[in-house]
Structure formats: C-alpha cells, structure tokens
Amino acid sequence: MCGIVGYVGNDQVAPILLKGLAKLEYRGYDSAGVAVYDGTSIQVVKSKGRLKVLDEKIHGGADLSGTVGIGHTRWATHGKPSDLNAHPHSSESGRFAIVHNGVIENYLELKSFLAEQGCHFISETDTEVVAQLLDFNYHGDLLDAVITTLKKIRGSYAFGILCSDFPDRVIGVRKESPLIVGLGNGENFIASDIPAILERTRDIYRLQENEIAVIKADGVTVYNMEKQTVEKETCHIDWDISAAEKGGYDHFMAKEIMEQPKAVRDTISPRIKNGRIVLDHISLTREQIEKFNRILVVACGSAYHVGVVAKYIFERFTHIPVEVDVASEFRYRDPIIDKNVLVLVISQSGETADTLAALREAKRLGARTISIVNVVGSSIANESDDVLYTWAGPEIAVATTKAYSTQLAVIYLLAIYISEKIGVMSEADYQFYISELQSLPDKIAETLDSREHIHETAKQFYQKDDIFFIGRNIDYAMSLEGSLKLKEISYIHSEAYAAGELKHGTISLIENGTLVIALATQKRLFEKMMSNVKEVKARGATVLGVTTYGNQHIEKESDFVFYVPEICDMMLPSLAVLPLQIFAYYVAYLKGCDIDKPKNLAKSVTVE
C-alpha cells in the first residue's frame, strides 16, 4: 500500500526522501509528499499524481533545506486523490507532521471530538485526525503524546512522525502495517519496505506490533506502550541491490518473469537432502498430521489462486479434504474450526491485512497454522505456528509472477511431505515426485524460451475488450491466475470459468471474434476440453489453446497454441501459468499500459 520513508542524519534529506520513495513506486499510489524540518519549522510539500510531479515541484529536493524529514506515496482510502488529501498531514499548529499507511477505523468519532475542541480540518483523510490528536495530547513529552494517541485510535497503521519541538528525531510506529528501521553510520531511517533504504544501509530492525522507534542520527531506541525499552535484533539484508533494479529489462515484471527458474530452484533445492524433503524447522509430528480431518487454505488475490490449485494437489496426494477461503470473507462466515484442522495461510508480503486477521481467527479457534510467505520476520510469519519461506527475493512489480510460482513450489513440497509422513504415498511415488520437482526449474526455463512466439500472438489480441479462460480440474484452478494477470495490467475484461459450466450461462457471452483461452494440459480430460472448444468455436470464438508438447491434436480445434514441457499433471500449473503471464505482459505492453504500477492497485494490501 502506501510508501513511507523517513531520515535523520547529516545530509540534505529531501533528495534522499525522493530517491527512497522512487524505490517504493511499485506499491501503487496516487499522490506523494514530503515534510522537512528546515531549522525553524516543518515544511510540507505534496502533490497529486506521480512522484515526478513532486520532484519537479521541489526541483529534486533543492527547494527544501534540512536533514530531518519524512516522505510518503499515498494509495487512497479516505478521500479522493488530491493535493489536500496527499500526505504528509499536519496539525493545525504546524507542530506535528505525519505520514500513515493503514486505516484508522474510529477516525470519525475522533474527528468529531476534536472539532468540538476547536480543531479545524482541511482534508477528507483519517490521517489528519491523527496529526491533530497528537497535538491535542502533547504536553511537552513527545513519547507520552504518541502513546496516549495510540491508545485512542483503532485500526491499522504504520506512522512516521515529525515534531518541531524535537527537530532531531523521527518517530516510527507500527500496528498491522509493515515498518522497518534502517541503521546507518551517522544516519538512520524508517521505511515501509527495504528497497527504499538499501542504497544507504543493509542493517535493519523490523518493528513489531505497537513498538515505537525514536530515530536520531546517532542511534535508535525502541519502546513498547509502557515506555519500556525493547531490545531489537539486527537483520542484515544480503540480497544484491540489483535484485531491486530492472537489470536492463523494460519492466520489473518482465525481469521477474525471467527470474522464476532461479526463484523456484532456490525454494526447492535447500529442502531436498539425500532424496528426502526436509522442511526447515516444521515441528509437525506424524501423530499430529494423522489427526487432521481437514486442511483449510486462506489467502487473497494470486495467493488465493495458489490455494485453489493446492486443493487439488493436497486432496490427490494426502486424501485429506481441503477448503479454500478468500481471507476477506473468512472471519465473517463463522468458520467451523478446531485443533484437528490445519490452516495454511499464504501471503507474499506476510503483512496482508485480511490474511493476517484470518490467521488470528484460526489460531483463536484452536487450529494448527502454517504460513507460506516471502518476507522473513513479517507479521504472518511471526504469528504462525510454523512458517515456510518462499525464497523468491524481492518482487517489485505489483502483478505477482515469481511469488505465485514459488508458493506453488512450497505447496508441492508440503503435500508430498505430508502424504509420505502419513503413509499415503508409496516410496516409488515419493521418489518419482521428488524427481519431477527437481526438474521443475529447468522446465520453467525451457517454457520461457517461447516468449517471442507469445509476443507475436499477443499482437493479434491486444485490442480485445473481453477475453475468457476455460479449463477443467487443475487447469481451471490455474486459469484463475491467468485471467487475473491479464485484467490487472492490461485492463481488459477477463474471466475464468470451469469449462463444464459453459452451458450454464457463460456461453451466451461468446460471439464472433471473442478470444477464449482454453487450458488443456490434463491428459485424462483432454477430450472433454476439446468438446468445450468445439462449443465455443461453433459460436464464433477464436481459440488459443494451452497444452503440453505432443498434444498436437489441439491444433485441429484451436487457432493458436502455446505448448509447455511435459511433467506430472499435478505440477503442470507451474508451467502452464508462464505463457499466460507472458501473454498478459505483452498485451499490456502493446497497449502502452503502466505495467509495473497498474492503476488502482497496490503491491501489499495492508488495509481491509
């Protein structure tokens, strides 16, 4: 969601803030702003639109003098995108300036109270209320004012706070929204994500719930809500800074598509030792696994689509019934859960608000929880009983690619591991699937070699208004992600349907020239899929088929075909999704869309 950067040091702060915010543009935003203490007061400059508008407005930061400041890129939740609603927000006195990622749920109640005390508001945001409340609660002790304010508000937040009475420091606070502290030499930082500060430091703290960091040039002190100091463990970031750069590609998404062989290999290889799956420090015993009568997968967006694929995989491998829930609906359906339910929680960032809330609800009801996340030390990772990390490295493009692929890889590992533990899978099958899993990175690389053919095909369809995806069984599950990728970045209306449901309404939407992408990788369902292809062809559809090499029969029924290498049917989603990612990319590219930063979307959704 929103991007936050804060700096205290000896260098001019405005250029540092602008550069840090530029590294956070992938999070999605509609306005940007900075607040800098200039030696006398806090100067705030902000503007609607892309960061370059703000950059030009302050001439690359040259117009603002000072060495302490905070910056922000906003993804609107309260109030339309505008200069007034952009962050930072100030208190009426000008004493406080604040940037915020999250949502204050009781802001209307607080706003009404403050208005009765004589406060005047100029924006539509919940964040301005916090700035005014800080000023109202301030009586000379900054830390007391922050703690008193936090106790009055409900919701999720990461805050960066300036106070003109304490011009040597920035305050950082978090609850359910990520915030890190960067530790430099004579300078220190706050940020909502690592890339913002990676050029200046590789040593960080990850703030935990309701921790308050007081950032000064010569050091950082972290407090809890009782004003007690908290000892923090430094985390050293060892990935190459180039991992957060485009590396010669036109877009981060293109780069990340091509990084998938390495990302999947890095996720799989350390967990297969001497022909056996070793899952980090997972503490589940065979006796515990045998008591599970249900597996529940909870996630949002692309991670939810991984969960839909996981249902087929777990039920085939483990014979344990699986349900898949959209995390935003999970808490509100009164789920029936107890200690005999295993809940898998999937999130790229480990901070997704709805998924984190679902995890907490599952734990409250007594379930055993395992999270699949990419960010070490994230909230979901910390609060799960066990965690399996996807070693995907940083993913900058809003539309996920390698996070999806690495999450699938972890699903394969976990499903095979559980099935072997409870004696459902024979040793011969176990070794077969291990071999197939180990071959996956090379087959992903082979599939990516067809990207020029996919590019040429995309030229035929980038001006379409509607595109439909159909598939059966695990092909249907995977088509959900293909459809999402297309609509996310190209803004073409796209839907995915179970092919057998065509006759129950969907087929009425098919007309001359409608593109239907038909996934037919499952051999046992191939003939049925060809029947569905004939149905849409009879109504004028143009068909783009996706299948494995050797299935040339599809060419008799389809107008265009993407082929992928053969692998066991349960792992085919890892290959079949690749041409769909590439197709979506080139369609968006040909349309001239802002691929890495699609409109209205954010990378890490930290509000409900």
User: Which are the catalytic amino acids?
Assistant: 2, 603
CA end-to-end distance (rounded Å), the chain: 11
Question: Alpha-carbon distance 380 to 378, whole Å?
Answer: 6
Largest CA distance in the chain: 79
C-alpha distance from residue 555 to each of 455, 482, 531, 550 (Å):
19, 21, 14, 11
- As a whole number of angstroms, the distance between CA 225 and CA 148 comes to 9
171, 212 Cβ separation under 8 angstroms: yes
Per-residue three-class SS string for 532-601: HHHHHHCCCCEEEEEEECCCHHHHHCCCEEEEECCCCHHHCHHHHHHHHHHHHHHHHHHHCCCCCCCCCC
The angle at the Cα of 58, spanning 52 to 62, to the nearest 5 degrees, equals: 120
State the Cα–Cα distance between residues 160 and 121, nearest whole angstrom: 20
Q: Give the E-state strand segments of 327-472 in sequence order.
A: 341-347, 368-373, 386-389, 466-471
Burial 423-440 (b: 16+ CB within 10 A, else e): eebeeeebeebbebbeeb
Structure tokens belonging to residue 20: 């840090």
Integer Cα distance of 142 and 320 in angstroms = 54
SS3 429: helix
Give the Cα separation of 285 and 279 in Å (integer).
12
Structure-token pair, residue 465:
């208004």
Residue given tokens 């015993």 in the structure block? 285
Q: Which residues contact 574 (CB under 8 A, 6 or more apart)?
A: 264, 405, 408, 409, 440, 444, 567
| Rounded distance between C-alpha atoms, residue 324 and residue 343, angstroms | 10
Whole-angstrom CA distances from 108 to 82, 90, 105 are: 20, 17, 8
